[in-house]
């Protein structure tokens, strides 16, 4: 079969900055060994996140110029609303400046002490907004999704039996809403099947619980359904997306992912009363309901991006580019979460650097090695990000030590990806020479963003 190529050509370019290995030693030292503290200009290939890092198309940029900046009733809002309703079918489309702003509004209205919310896996900001309201957030991921090397089609699925017993135990009246995150970012960008969404929606309906979608990467998820779920191979991704949303009562969306924009999001709702309350909250926190924390031009770019992301040539290339990277790494023996998901490669840092104990942050050691060797920036998702201390001050590690390499949309070419693979494989070849880190400063909350670390062995 012919190579699946980037389905676009490049009209506007941004130069990369090259640094030497010696310069990167100094840069990392100045950044206290924390890649969040490294300037982007000192990074060659930036795989920190796929959020807000997409390249916009010529049509999106053209839309930026025609954006209607009226405070109320902007034409750009109506264009955006029509596109979003056309895909999701939801009656009320409420723009927000990004995904977490939509979450904040939703959980301010539905949350509070004594309430529980369930998901396949809540993303951190979603969990944060739920817990901030005083409620609890519970993840009920299928067992398959917890096994990094297990090959299965839909490792993002909800554990249906666990969901039903959780509802019985807590009482449906204490569970306002159940949310399906598609794809499951925290679990490796793994998709959820339509079958699983249908079963989850049916249980929610039976118990009178709202069913919502965290739709950040809905198009990537829909592509996996088309490729892997029986009966969907001849359906369009738009059609599959509509079927997904038809099961739900609403969604939150970070448009920084599958709407191919640098900033934006929305909350979509079916219920009139909830929508009215949400809009009232929006006005005091984000802005008037026809712009919601965004400029008119951003709404244009989102509308256009939502249309472009459903282009199946684009999705074929997108998912293939991640799979291609996974195949190269797997062939070289590099331990990664399998099968590859929709937006990122997750390296198993514990298996990669078994000589480094979890309390010395193998994920940090690996991420820093990739930066030192090749100027690549990934993110540790392990003991630095999620580690806790017990009552005696002893480190409690999360279940996995990962390094996520998230691939921005339409930004890097196949040779960039080849280069990234070469660097990872080179580091893998020298893996016995890397050593662990210790923290010299940490903030009480979300310490990974600002922590300062030392590498005594280097």
The residues that touch ligand F0G, with contacts defined as CB under 6 A, are 49, 51, 98-100, 123, 125-126, 181, 185, 214, 216, 254, 256, 265
Least separation in angstroms between CB 184 and ligand F0G = 8
Q: In terms of CB distance, is 353 or 407 closer to ligand F0G?
A: 407
User: Tokens at residue 426, please?
Assistant: 């080179």
Q: In terms of CB distance, is 123 or 232 closer to ligand F0G?
A: 123
Least separation in angstroms between CB 416 and ligand F0G = 19
Least separation in angstroms between CB 161 and ligand F0G = 24
Least separation in angstroms between CB 264 and ligand F0G = 8
Supply the angle between the helices 218-228 and 237-246 in degrees, to the nearest 10.
110
Measure the CA dihedral 33/387/170/127, to 10°.
-10
Q: Count of CB atoms within 10 A of residue 235's CB?
A: 17
Least separation in angstroms between CB 190 and ligand F0G = 12
With CA atoms as reference, report the closest residue to 457 among 353, 381, 376, 380: 353
Least separation in angstroms between CB 376 and ligand F0G = 16
Q: In terms of CB distance, is 254 or 340 closer to ligand F0G?
A: 254
Instruction: Give the residue at shortest CB distance from ligand F0G.
Output: 99
Q: In terms of CB distance, is 256 or 448 closer to ligand F0G?
A: 256
Q: In terms of CB distance, is 131 or 454 closer to ligand F0G?
A: 131
Supply the angle between the helices 75-88 and 296-308 in degrees, to the nearest 10.
30
Q: In terms of CB distance, is 356 or 384 closer to ligand F0G?
A: 384
Least separation in angstroms between CB 140 and ligand F0G = 16
Q: In terms of CB distance, is 24 or 100 closer to ligand F0G?
A: 100
Q: Count of CB atoms within 10 A of residue 390's CB?
A: 8
- Which residues in 309-322 are b (16+ Cβ under 10 Å) and which e? bbbeebbbbbbebb
Partners of residue 441 on adjacent β-strands:
452
Least separation in angstroms between CB 102 and ligand F0G = 8
Q: Which residues lie closer than 8 Å to 225 by C-beta, 6 or more apart?
A: 191, 193, 194, 232, 240, 244
| Alpha-carbon span 416 to 418, nearest angstrom | 5
Rg of the chain in Å (alpha carbons): 22
With CA atoms as reference, report the closest residue to 106 among 228, 282, 308, 316: 282
With CA atoms as reference, report the closest residue to 314 among 400, 418, 237, 423: 237
Q: In terms of CB distance, is 51 or 290 closer to ligand F0G?
A: 51
């Amino acid at each position: 079969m012919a190579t699946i190529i980037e389905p676009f050509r490049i009209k506007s370019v941004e130069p990369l900055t090259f640094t030497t290995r010696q310069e990167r030693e100094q840069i990392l030292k100045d950044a206290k060994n924390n890649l969040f503290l490294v300037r982007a200009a000192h990074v060659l290939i930036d795989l920190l996140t796929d959020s807000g890092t997409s390249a916009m198309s010529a049509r999106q940029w053209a839309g930026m110029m025609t954006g209607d900046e009226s405070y109320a009733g902007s034409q750009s809002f109506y264009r955006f609303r029509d596109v979003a309703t056309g895909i999701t079918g939801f009656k009320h489309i409420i723009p927000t400046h990004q995904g977490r702003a939509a979450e904040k509004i939703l959980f301010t209205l539905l949350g509070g002490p004594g309430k529980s919310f369930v998901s396949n896996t809540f993303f951190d900001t979603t969990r944060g907004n739920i817990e901030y309201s005083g409620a609890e957030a519970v993840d009920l991921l299928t067992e398959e999704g917890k096994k990094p090397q297990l090959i299965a089609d839909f490792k993002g699925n909800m554990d249906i039996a666990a969901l039903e017993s959780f509802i019985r135990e807590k009482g449906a009246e204490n569970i306002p809403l159940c949310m399906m995150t598609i794809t499951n970012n925290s679990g490796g960008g793994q998709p959820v099947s339509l079958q699983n969404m249908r079963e989850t929606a049916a249980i929610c309906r039976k118990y009178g619980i709202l069913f919502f979608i965290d739709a950040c990467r809905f198009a990537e998820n829909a592509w996996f359904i088309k490729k892997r779920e029986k009966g969907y191979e001849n359906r369009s991704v738009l059609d599959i997306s509509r079927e997904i949303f038809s099961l739900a009562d609403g969604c939150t969306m970070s448009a920084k992912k599958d709407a191919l924009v640098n900033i934006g999001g929305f909350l979509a709702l079916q219920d009139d009363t909830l929508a009215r309350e949400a809009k009232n909250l929006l006005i005091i926190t984000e802005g008037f309901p026809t712009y919601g924390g965004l400029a008119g031009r951003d709404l244009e770019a989102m509308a256009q991006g939502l249309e472009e992301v459903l282009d199946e040539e684009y999705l074929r290339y997108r998912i293939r580019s991640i799979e291609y990277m996974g195949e190269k790494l797997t062939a070289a023996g590099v331990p990664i979460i399998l099968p590859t998901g929709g937006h990122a490669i997750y390296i198993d840092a514990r298996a990669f650097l078994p000589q480094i104990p979890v309390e010395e942050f193998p994920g940090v050691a690996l991420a820093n090695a990739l930066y030192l060797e090749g100027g690549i920036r990934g993110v540790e998702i392990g003991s630095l990000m999620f580690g806790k201390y017990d009552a005696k001050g002893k480190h409690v590690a999360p279940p996995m030590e990962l390094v996520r390499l998230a691939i921005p949309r339409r930004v890097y070419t196949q040779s960039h990806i080849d280069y990234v693979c070469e660097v990872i494989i080179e580091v893998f070849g020298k893996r016995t020479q890397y050593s662990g880190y210790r923290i010299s400063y940490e903030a009480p909350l979300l310490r990974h963003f600002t922590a300062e670390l030392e590498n005594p062995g280097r």
